[in-house]
Amino acid sequence: MGSVATFLSARRGRARLDLSDWLAYLYLVLGVVIMFGPVLWLASSSLKTQAALQEFPPSILPSGQKLVKVEGHEAPLPLFELKRQDGTTVERALVRRIGIQGQFVDPAAPSAAIERAPIAQATPVREMRAAFENYTVPLQTLRFGRYFTNSLFVTIMATLITLIINSMCAFALSKYQFRGRNAIFIFIISTLMIPISVILVPAFLVVTSLGLSNSLWGVILPPAATPTGVFLLRQYMLTIPDELIDAARMDGASEWRVYWRIILPLTAPALAVLTIFSIMWRWNDFLWPLIVLNREEVFTLQIGLSSFQGELNTQWHYLLAMTVLTLIPVVAVFGFLQRYVTAGIASTGIK
């Protein structure tokens, strides 16, 4: 502890920390506990067995009572440390329990006589054990594998479509003079903050009339023409010098070639920001898929999780594991591309 304090209090300029610095660090450490603690708790809980999850008070790390396979018994038996009357302690497996009396067997010598002792004399032997079956079982038998691929499909297709149509539109709005340009731009911008919840009812009707309800395309298409993306890309494209485009036209390049050979490569940083935003929006999307998707085989992970948690007997051991699985992709994307995310948010004020 002492070395940590010296490390933290060593700083350039002044020799010692004053009170306000201590308070600042106290706030930050408290912040780490509150912001990060819940996720660590989720990760640890997701590796506990169903039995371990029901323990109260809960243990911090995934652990459970050690089970041993004993010859002559089909199911593995729970292992105890048994305190005998003569004061010695031995490891014994519990065969059965009658009231407060337990019948124990020596796992090393299964054919030896059964020992009888009060259960109060026995303490369970615990071991660290990660229940990876919490992850594998729902993926194989509970359709979570299907939800996962659905989410992946929606995220990838929607992001590609958004990038293409938004960048084309932004190109038109930033590099051409045409009638209606300002009207289109202002109309798109004014819907920046209008959420899907405002047009829920008619948007669902449109999707149904097009035969897209209960189809992943009904989730992908409607929010694809994001005003955020058009705005972000247009602002960035405005900084590309027009001379580059004129020079390319002089060399006989078509407008399409100007778009994909010159404009898109020069817009790469803004496209990167939009890619990350789009992945985040689509992977995490909830309200719109909730309305469009009613059949289980087209559920995305978010909808699958939400409906699984609403069931009568919540199977927390599976639910927690699938929650971890759901949060991993976005956190991974953030880990790799943190620079773009923070720069993008700071410069646009949009999430």
Question: Which of the residues 145 through 184 are near another protein (CB under 8 A)?
Answer: 164-166, 168-169, 171-173, 176-178, 181, 184
306 binds another protein (CB under 8 A): yes
- Name the residue nearer to another protein (CB basis): 93 or 303: 303
39 binds another protein (CB under 8 A): yes
Build a one-symbol-per-residue string for 89-128: x at contacts with another protein by CB under 8 A, - elsewhere: ----------------------------------------
Residue found by looking up tokens 């923070």 in the block: 342
298 binds another protein (CB under 8 A): no
| AA identity, residue 89 | T
Please identify which residue in 34, 98, 183, 312 interacts with another protein, judged by CB under 8 A: 34
User: From the CB of 124, what's the least distance to another protein, in Å?
Assistant: 19
The span from the CA of 337 to the CA of 317, in Å, is: 31
Please identify which residue in 6, 56, 99, 243 interacts with another protein, judged by CB under 8 A: 56
User: From the CB of 123, what's the least distance to another protein, in Å?
Assistant: 20
- Name the residue nearer to another protein (CB basis): 46 or 117: 46
User: From the CB of 149, what's the least distance to another protein, in Å?
Assistant: 17
The span from the CA of 124 to the CA of 31, in Å, is: 37
Q: What is the dihedral of CA 203, 204, 205, 209, to 10 degrees?
A: 110
User: From the CB of 182, what's the least distance to another protein, in Å?
Assistant: 13
3 binds another protein (CB under 8 A): no
Partners of 322 in the beta sheet? Answer: none
Query: Which range, of 68-76, 84-92, 121-129, 318-326, touches another protein by CB under 8 A?
Result: 318-326
Please identify which residue in 119, 225, 248, 337 interacts with another protein, judged by CB under 8 A: 225
Question: Do residues 93 and 78 touch, judged by C-beta distance below 8 A?
Answer: yes
The span from the CA of 112 to the CA of 68, in Å, is: 16
Q: Is 351 helix (H, G, I), strand (E, B) or coil?
A: coil
- Name the residue nearer to another protein (CB basis): 125 or 225: 225
Please identify which residue in 67, 142, 156, 189 interacts with another protein, judged by CB under 8 A: 189
User: Is the previous residue joined to 57 through a cis bond, with omega within 30 degrees of 0?
Assistant: yes
User: What 8-state DSSP symbol labels residue 200?
Assistant: H
Sequence-distant (6+) residues with CB within 8 A of 339 are: none
User: From the CB of 127, what's the least distance to another protein, in Å?
Assistant: 21
41 binds another protein (CB under 8 A): yes
The span from the CA of 233 to the CA of 162, in Å, is: 11
Size of the site for another protein (CB under 8 A): 112
280 binds another protein (CB under 8 A): yes
User: From the CB of 321, what's the least distance to another protein, in Å?
Assistant: 11
- Name the residue nearer to another protein (CB basis): 68 or 262: 262
Please identify which residue in 45, 134, 155, 213 interacts with another protein, judged by CB under 8 A: 45
The span from the CA of 177 to the CA of 273, in Å, is: 27
| AA identity, residue 35 | M
Please identify which residue in 95, 137, 156, 272 interacts with another protein, judged by CB under 8 A: 272
- Name the residue nearer to another protein (CB basis): 107 or 223: 223
Question: Do residues 300 and 289 touch, judged by C-beta distance below 8 A?
Answer: yes
DSSP notation for 38-68: HHHHHHHHTTS-HHHHT-SSPPSS-EEE-EE
Provide the H-helix boundaries in 74-226. 133-141, 144-175, 181-190, 200-209, 216-220
User: From the CB of 1, what's the least distance to another protein, in Å?
Assistant: 17
30 binds another protein (CB under 8 A): no
User: What 8-state DSSP symbol labels residue 256?
Assistant: H
For 35, the enclosing helix (H) or strand (E) is helix 19-45
